[in-house]
Structure 1
Amino acid sequence: MSDTSKFPDPVYRDTVLAPLFEGVKTHFAGHMDAINRAHLVMLVESGILSADDGARIAGALAAIAEEVDVPALEYTGEYEDYFFLVEAELKRRLGDLGGALHTARSRNDMDHTLFKMALRERAEAMLGQLLTLAEALSAKAEAEAETLIVAYTHGQPAQPTTFGHYLCAALEVLLRDAARLSAAIDGLEHCPMGAAAITTSGFPIDRERVADLLGFEGVLVNSYGCIASVDYVTGLYSAVKLVFVHLGRVVQDMAFWSSFEVGQLYVPNSLVQISSIMPQKRNPVPIEHMRHLASVTAGRCDMVVNTMHNTPFTDMNDSEGEVQQAGYAAFESGGRVLDLLAAFLPSCSIRADRVAANMDAACVTITELADTLVRDEGLSFRQAHEIAAATARAVIAEAAPLRQGYAAFRAAFEDQTGRGPGLDEAGFRTAVAADTFVARRDRTGGPAPAALEAAQAGYRETLAELRAAARNRTTRRNEAATRLASAFNALTET
């Protein structure tokens, strides 16, 4: 059967090739140019191309970069993709020599290399935002180290702690998330160039040289894995997703705490919107925006990872241009969350009056009464728990604060032990005070000032280590860009 059709089919052109071309223009053209230059330097240094041919190709690449207005290009279907457009430009200027640049490489290894280059920029920027948020949380936690709040479990008032203690809990998770993201960035630091289509090349290529010129830590060793193992994608987006799953939980607490019924978090007017009809309303809607943007970001990460599910372990378009470009939206929406939260939390304050009222209403210090009875009265914890529970039931029934419950406590103590307590009313009031509760929780990780400051010292050290790792990666890439420019320019002077 005779096939007279010509590539590309108009529908395929408009639905696939043209959008991919636009994506390359926006995201990858600069990285492809860097790969072309690094590969050319290696070909000349390895003796695969002569110095004269290298100089001519280098001159043409420089002219293309100078003369071609990439953003103004429109996809016509004359060339399959941007790669072939550049190769056609080289051939137009150099004749057959223009095709020599593609010696010992493939679009397969080129694609995964430039995808890594694009991802590491975005991931490094997000890590920077994460660390800025972590620094804001740390500073706010230090400022609020003694600010009492009610901590909730299962949606109910549980125990007193401090806002600083709560923020440090969120900070610990954020730092673990930052470490996971930093490790995922390290997973981008090995270069696929030299793998060619699948099995490397019969030419004496220097893979390490290309990796170095492109700012990678080293080569990705197995050539099949270079074009098949997309764990650099799944690992990165999994790490990004966890950031926003975890931050979303903190944001949800902010919604709960700022509700009228709880009211322990005050959101300033600058972050509150009003109702168009109800004049009494103060709506802290940035919380809702952070919550939904965090969920959108997690969903976008899932989209990328799920696209890889049940795909063949080989080079395939499922991991390439379309999904790579779609995934970048996760960095955009996630970045908005990080910036907004870094501004939001430091601006908020705790309403001491609402905290005190909720503590009084819910007997949140009652655990310390039980602990005091174990320490000072020699009771078992279960006995002490029963006495404390009876005391709490009595004062809650009377709608009285716990500090006024000494009579109820004494009655419960006598009923449980058959004797009077050694704890007098003044001692009782001290035992059930929120300040006492916090001060006595001075073990590692507790809310007492010394324990909290010791934890903060560790957080600051972790932050410094993560910042240093990011700086080292950035320095390596910047120095590599300088080496590439020098080596490429040297070709043109041959």
Structure 2
Amino acid sequence: MKALQASDRSVFPDPVYRETVLKPLFDGAKRHLASALKAVDRAHLVMLVETGIVSREQGATIAGALEAIAAEVDPLTLSYTGAVEDYFFLMEGELKQRVGADIGGRLHTARSRNDIDHTLFKLVLKQHVDRLLLKCRTLLGALVDTAERDKAVLVVAYTHGQPAQPTTYGHYLGAVIEVLVRDIERLEAARAIIDLSPMGAAAITTSGFPIDRARVAHLLGFAGAMPNSYSCIASVDYITSIFSAIELLFLHLGRPIQDFQVWSSFEVGQLYMPNAFVQISSIMPQKRNPVPIEHLRHLSAQTVGRARAVVNVMHNTPFTDMVDSEGDTQEMGYQVFEVAGRVLDLLAVTVPAGAIDSARVAVNLRRSCATITELADTLVRVEGLSFRLAHGIAAQVARTVVALSGDLPSDGYAPFALAFKERAGRDSSIGPDEFARIVSPEHFVAVRERFGGPGPAALDAAIRGYRTALKDFEQRAEDRARRESNAAAELAARFAELVGGA
């Protein structure tokens, strides 16, 4: 038995290693990387022929075989047998079977699985990032449209979990929008790091062959080639950058989602979700459970955790080409994008569907004395008091009204007149009607026209800026897509010329 074990373990791969490592990596590669490898092979071959490293006749033979393999071999039907190490060697073996080892082996001139792997990962990641960015722009558009729709709809703004001041739903969403804009910018910046080609770095130090790295980068639709060849295979900051950006995006989105859950509670009742977003209890028929908001919250948290896990895999790893950044980690990353996309899709329809319950907001604003700050400000402007004195008068009024469970506009004037006389030593020039106007939430919002405030003109200007940001994002996406589409067309044309020359 011992002799049999020794014999079995003298042949690669060990069965357990095959099943636990090589087979899952092979299955992942055939699902996610096959199309990218086809593009890399073709771009590299075109470059080899254009630089004279491989003759046109040899290139034509290889191109014809690659074309036939693409037409005849469906990667998804392949099963890992352990006959070769991975998907790359299986495809190389298929090429050699068709054109012979001498011609088939020339395709791998001046390249390594090191630069190939990172190029494949980047090509696939760009696709995932672009889909995520599209969903982000869709959400951004939904938020901006809702902010404009509800730019004059009053809500209670909270600090420390307590009613603080009135603002508008459009103003609140504007804050969410501004964070999302910055998060999209971070995603775009991370994408720019991904958008540099490692091809031509080979194992570490490039090659003695006169390769044209910029040409391969162009044909594959990259913005350019990575400058340092060691960096091509060692610096995995393209992975840490994108998943850190995703982690921040969903950490930030989770915060307003948490607000929506509080706002839609029975006790607060500020946000109403229509029946399409409500599930009824199986035992308590009176309950309206806005469970999509709960799913948004926990799926956002899942996305944060999964993205952080990908980043953590890179912690304390050697600055060299490493298994840690390869197939298994990429699979983790694809799961991040899948869950992230679900959150963005759901949030983009949930926000416009929600409606502010203005009657409930009005009650909460009046009873909480949330407009009392404007009374203090007005006393400074109209009565010439110091803010501290005015603040003391306003605080006394608020305490009295709250203790009475009263309504500030209708029940606050008598306490105000008394507090003013006690503290200022004279009667106020403000009468009951003017007092009610001063402490109204509409007035509170209308006078806050400073830059960034909820006043109508200030908020309109902000919304115009948000639409400009969205337009800029869309234009940059179109520019990237056009560049990559043109590159793909050029690669197809150059490759077709080689096939035609066979």
Same fold (TM over 0.5): yes
Cα distance in 2 between the residues matched to 1:201 and 1:99: 16
In the other structure, the counterpart of 2:439 is 432
Contact map agreement 2:393 2:423 (CA 8 A) in 1? yes
Quote the residue 2:95 is aligned against.
Answer: 90
CA distance in 2, matches of 1:83, 1:123: 24
Query: Does residue 236 of structure 2 align to residue 219 of structure 1?
Result: no
* 2:263 maps to which of 257, 263, 266: 257
Equivalent residue for 1:81, pick from 70, 78, 86: 86
- The correspondence of residues 82-481 of structure 1 with structure 2, limited to 5 A, is 82-96=87-101, 97-403=103-409, 404-481=411-488
- 1:372-398: per-residue Cα shift (whole Å, max 9, x none)? 000000011100000000000011111
Which AA in structure 1 matches 2:181? Answer: L
- Alignment partner of 1:51 out of 42, 53, 56: 56
The answer as to whether partners of 2:278 and 2:290 remain within 8 angstroms in 1 is yes
Question: What percentage of aligned pairs have identical amino acids?
Answer: 60
- CA drift at 1:107: 0.3
Please report how far the alpha carbon of residue 186 of structure 1 lies from its aligned counterpart in structure 2 after TM superposition. Answer: 1.1
Unpaired runs of 5+ in structure 1?
Answer: none
- Partner letter of residue 284 of structure 1? P
SS of residue paired to 1:112? helix
AA aligned to 1:488 is F
Report the alpha carbon displacement of residue 426 of structure 1 after superposing the two structures with TM. Answer: 1.4
- CA deviations on 1:54-99 (whole Å, 9 max, x unpaired) are 0000011111111112111000000100100011011111112111
State the distance in 2 between where 1:470 and 1:109 align: 26
SS of structure 2 residue aligned to 1:462: helix
Q: Distance in 2 between matches of 1:288 and 1:265?
A: 14
CA distance in 1 between partners of 2:481 and 2:36 (Å) = 16
Cα distance in 1, alignment partners of residues 74 and 265 from structure 2: 54
Q: CA deviation at 1:471?
A: 1.0
CA distance in 2, matches of 1:425, 1:419: 16
Using the alignment, how far apart are the partners of 1:278 and 1:90 within structure 2?
66
**Partner secondary structure for residue 10 of structure 2:** coil
Partner of 1:42: 47
Q: CA deviation at 1:4?
A: 6.2
TM-score scaled to structure 2, two decimals?
A: 0.97
Deviation at 1:413, TM superposition (A): 0.7
Equivalent position amino acid for 1:416 in 2: R
Cα distance in structure 2, aligned partners of 1:271 and 1:490: 55
- Structure 1 counterpart of 2:417, one-letter code: R
- What SS does structure 1 have at the residue aligned with 2:165? strand
Distance in 1, Cα, partners of 2:299 & 2:65: 45
Supply the distance in 1 between the matched residues of 2:449 and 2:328 (Cα, whole angstroms).
Answer: 53
Amino acid across the alignment from 1:410 = A
Q: Secondary structure at the match of 2:157?
A: strand
Q: Distance in 2 between matches of 1:142 and 1:391?
A: 35
Secondary structure of the structure 2 residue equivalent to 1:187: helix
1:12 aligns with 2:17: yes
Cα distance in 2 for partners of 1:264, 1:90 equals 65
Measure how far apart 1:290 and its partner are: 0.4
Question: Hey, what's the Cα distance between the residues in 2 that align with 1:4 and 1:271?
Answer: 58
Shift of residue 3, structure 1, vs aligned partner: 9.5
Q: CA deviation at 1:308?
A: 0.2
Q: Which amino acid counterpart does residue 80 of structure 1 have in structure 2? A: E
Task: Give 1:179's aligned amino acid.
Answer: E
2:8·2:14 contact (CA, 8 Å) conserved in 1? no
Shift of 1:369: 0.2
Q: What is residue 24 of structure 1 aligned with on the other side? A: 29
- 1:36 deviation in Å? 0.2
Q: Residue type of the partner of 2:352?
A: P
- Structure 1 pair 402–4 and aligned structure 2 pair: CA distance change class (3 A): closer
Q: Report the 3-state secondary structure (helix = DSSP H, G, I; strand = E; otherwise coil) of the residue aligned with 2:104.
A: helix
Equivalent of residue 63 in structure 1, options 68, 83, 88: 68
Report the residue type matching 1:431 in the other structure. Answer: I
Amino acid at match of 2:172: Y
Give, in whole Å, the separation in 2 of the partners of 1:326 and 1:356: 47
SS at structure 1 position matched to 2:166: strand
CA distance in 2, matches of 1:2, 1:119: 42
C-alpha separation in 2, matches of 1:28 and 1:4: 30
Distance 2:214 2:57 in 1: 23
Question: Which AA in structure 2 matches 1:14?
Answer: E
Instruction: Report how many residues are paired.
Output: 494
Cα displacement (A) at 1:442: 0.6
Offset at residue 187 of structure 1 (A)? 1.2
User: What letter is aligned with 1:38?
Assistant: A
1:121-167: CA deviation from partner (whole Å, max 9, x where unpaired): 00011001001100001011101011011111110000000111111
Q: Which runs of 5 or more residues in structure 2 are unaligned?
A: 1-5
SS in 2 for 1:161: strand
Amino acid paired to 1:407? A
| Separation in 1, partners of 2:385, 2:338 | 58
Root-mean-square deviation (Å)? 1.0
Residues 314-338 of structure 1 show CA distances to partners (whole Å, capped at 9, x for unaligned) of: 0000011110111111111010010
Stretches of 4+ moved more than 3 A in 1? Answer: 1-4
